[in-house]
Amino acid sequence: MARKPIIAGNWKMNMTRAEATALIEALKPLVKDATSDVVICVPYTDIDVAVKLCAGSNIKVGAENVAWAEKGAFTGEISADMLAELGTEYVIIGHSERRQYFGETDATVNARLKTALGKGLKPIVCVGETLDQREKNRTKTVIRKQVQLGLEGISAEDMASVIIAYEPVWAIGTGKTATSEQAEETIKFIRGVIAKMFDRKLANKVRIQYGGSMNPKNVKELMAMPDIDGGLIGGASLKAPDFSQVVNFDK
């Protein structure tokens, strides 16, 4: 079935407000005719600037993380209410770097997801296996657990707002490369896990992105795969010409 592609940029810890302004102004005319949904997930300090600059355009703004608590003694965290107040529409949850460096677990991913959904944010939930896990043939075991625990207690109705991003952590910064066939195989598996948790009809509606270094050189091949519905873009999202080429993969 036809699922509208969604290309989301993840700026990570990059871009001052001045740099963000320059990038967005350069990007807007390049993606204005995109047939896919276009999202930029920016650092907290850039959100208000990004929302203001993207107003009236087809670019939506997301955050890179959200707290599971509504408020309280959680130094350094940002709540869903705070994000929503700024005009944020999307939020990344459970990115591999959050799992690797900041102690994110499947349980905290689930808690953040429920809070985000409760406040009307559209979550991009990341899953993926490490090099060690892949070499030990544990990919399906790891992915199944991440999906099942991450989506535990989520209603079928809420799943309409959930986007999944598959990040092959083993292919990021290791010198190894995931082929389009490997990406498709794992994303198809993820769709199957969702089908067992809910049903096949719902699973066929869920958009699943590929988050393993999608760029202008490989985007057409990846997007030709039937189960890949877009990309969560890192480095290529920091340059307007590169990101626009990914967004306009079908042109």
User: Would you name the residues annotated as active-site residues?
Assistant: 95, 167
CA 124-220-169 angle, 5° bins: 45
Q: Are 179 and 191 in contact (CB under 8 A)?
A: no
The crossing angle, in degrees rounded to 10, of helices 106-118 and 139-150 is 40
Q: In sequence order, what DSSP letters do the residues of 129-165 get, joined into one string? A: --HHHHHTT-HHHHHHHHHHHHTTT--TTGGGG-EEE
DSSP annotation of 2 = -
Cα dihedral sign, 226-232-234-240: positive
The backbone torsions φ and ψ at residue 72, rounded to the nearest 5 degrees and listed phi first, read 125, -165
Residue pointed to by tokens 């959680």: 74
The span from the CA of 107 to the CA of 109, in Å, is: 5
Q: How far is CA 17 from CA 33, 45, 51, 83, in A?
A: 26, 7, 12, 17
